Amino acid sequence: MTATTPHDPLALLGIDHVELWVGNAKQAAHFYRTGFGFSPVAYAGPETGLRDQASWVLGQGSIRLVLTSSLRPGTEIAEHVARHGDGVHDVALAVPDAAVAYGAATERGADGVLEPSDDKDEHGIVRRAAIATYGETIHSLVDRSGYTGPFLPGFAPWTSVEDPLPPVGLEAIDHVVGNVELGRMNQWVEFYERVMGFTELVHFSDEAISTEYSALMSKVVWDGEGRIKFPINEPAKGKKRSQIDEYLDFYGGPGVQHIAIQTGDIVASVRALRDRGIEFMRVPDTYYGELADRFGDLDLDLDSLQELGVLADRDDEGHLLQIFTRMAQDRPTVFFELIERHGARGFGEGNFKALFVALEREQALRGNL
């Protein structure tokens, strides 16, 4: 099966936005503004006509991040947060025509969540629909080609004081990683192939992603263009509980584990984020003893990489640098990755062992290994 093309009725243009349902959207928005350097974009709540929820939209580069919380108990949002904690509800996808895309997806077996609808205001029209994916995660299908407002109809511009700290330099979403139950990974890979027209980019066995204690398996599906990449993980049997087992336990089922964000200068971005209070996972220092040999032909600032805890990897097409934040909330569920690509299309396979050790160390501190 080939990847989606402009002639496919489900042609996908990229990731439109990612929406997290959280316990307190106003405070979460403050965290992502001050910690990650996102800028205010738009707001919707009681002041704009919503009675039961509030949403704050932030942006950086081409990234749109939406934080939404319920204003009352017993709502779908409130129950979602009670089950999962703060977590990703919607990985929204941009499409040329939401109705056509929805029709194609449901004909191919997707479960519809929101039938195509038009939202209008003085800035134009946005056409939206939504389908279900793993767990309680959805994919909205968004056509905003006829809209010039700040985000969606019903949202007002959010103006605030200027950020006094230096910019972070986050540019775009590189990939979004989902965790599913043991034995369900292939089912969801097949879903994305059948419904979205994606193809499998790469897969990793439990032998590739393992330590003495735990393991996982992963497959990556993509649109063939690189605009949308979805790794899907499932746990594998080991002596102790893997990071995927811990996620599924605390999240209460399948969901988005982490969001990887591209930066053009990872050293500068990590320095800026550290200055803003963001903490990162660290691999053992012995990892850096091998970098000089592995990357001696490249002009890398190895001292800075070691100082900051940045990892490096390469494939036949180039190299990449990456680093992972610590958890973004109290539950050990959602975190973020920064990645700087120089031709490489991989996901840091050479770093899996070191990263797993770092993750297990944090699991052990939580008493969950």
Q: Which domains does the chain have, with CATH numbers?
A: 14-157 (3.10.180.10), 170-366 (3.10.180.10)
Closest to 55 measured CA to CA, from 90, 79, 85, 82: 90
Question: For the residues 146-175, what does the mean pLDDT come to?
Answer: 94
Cβ-Cβ contacts under 8 Å for 46 (sequence gap 6 or more)? 54, 71
Q: If you average pLDDT over every residue of the chain, what do you get?
A: 90
- For residue 192, the model assigns a pLDDT of 97
Cα–Cα distance for residue pair 109/195, rounded to 1 Å: 7
- For residue 291, the model assigns a pLDDT of 81
The pLDDT tens digits of the residues spanning 307-349 come to 999 999 888 899 999 999 999 999 999 999 999 999 998 886 6
pLDDT > 90? residue 211: no
Cα–Cα distance for residue pair 244/18, rounded to 1 Å: 21
Q: Could you tell me where the beta strands, DSSP code E, fall in 61-136?
A: 63-70, 87-94, 112-121, 124-132
Question: For the residues 95-114, what does the mean pLDDT come to?
Answer: 97
Question: For the residues 37-47, what does the mean pLDDT come to?
Answer: 97
Handedness of CA 329, 330, 333, 339 (dihedral sign): positive
Question: For the residues 153-177, what does the mean pLDDT come to?
Answer: 94
* Cα radius of gyration rounded to whole Å, the chain: 20
Tell the residue number behind the tokens 């919707």, with chain if given: 44
Question: For the residues 43-65, what does the mean pLDDT come to?
Answer: 97
Contact 68, 20 (CB under 8 A): yes
Helix (H, G, I), strand (E, B) or coil at 332: coil
Residue type, 169: G
- For residue 282, the model assigns a pLDDT of 87
Handedness of CA 262, 174, 273, 271 (dihedral sign): negative
Question: For the residues 278-294, what does the mean pLDDT come to?
Answer: 84
Question: For 250, phi and psi rounded to 5 degrees?
Answer: -80, -30
Question: For the residues 249-261, what does the mean pLDDT come to?
Answer: 97
Cα–Cα distance for residue pair 139/290, rounded to 1 Å: 41
- For residue 1, the model assigns a pLDDT of 39
Cα–Cα distance for residue pair 8/14, rounded to 1 Å: 14
Q: Which two tokens stand for residue 326?
A: 């610590």
- Terminal CA-CA length for the chain: 39
Q: Which two tokens stand for residue 90?
A: 């919607």
Q: Which two tokens stand for residue 267?
A: 């050293």
Please state whether the predicted TM-score (pTM) of the whole model is above 0.75. yes
Closest to 332 measured CA to CA, from 363, 355, 308: 363
Other Cβ atoms within 10 Å of 279 Cβ, number: 11
Helix axes 243-251, 352-366, angle to 10 degrees: 50
pLDDT > 80? residue 358: no
* Strand duo 318-324 + 311-315: pairing: antiparallel
- For residue 3, the model assigns a pLDDT of 47
Contact 332, 246 (CB under 8 A): yes
- Cα distances from 297 to residues 82, 210, 268, 277, 330, in angstroms, run 51, 29, 22, 34, 41
pLDDT > 70? residue 120: yes
- For residue 367, the model assigns a pLDDT of 78
* pLDDT bracket for residue 237 (50, 70, 90): confident
Closest to 219 measured CA to CA, from 110, 211, 208, 301: 208
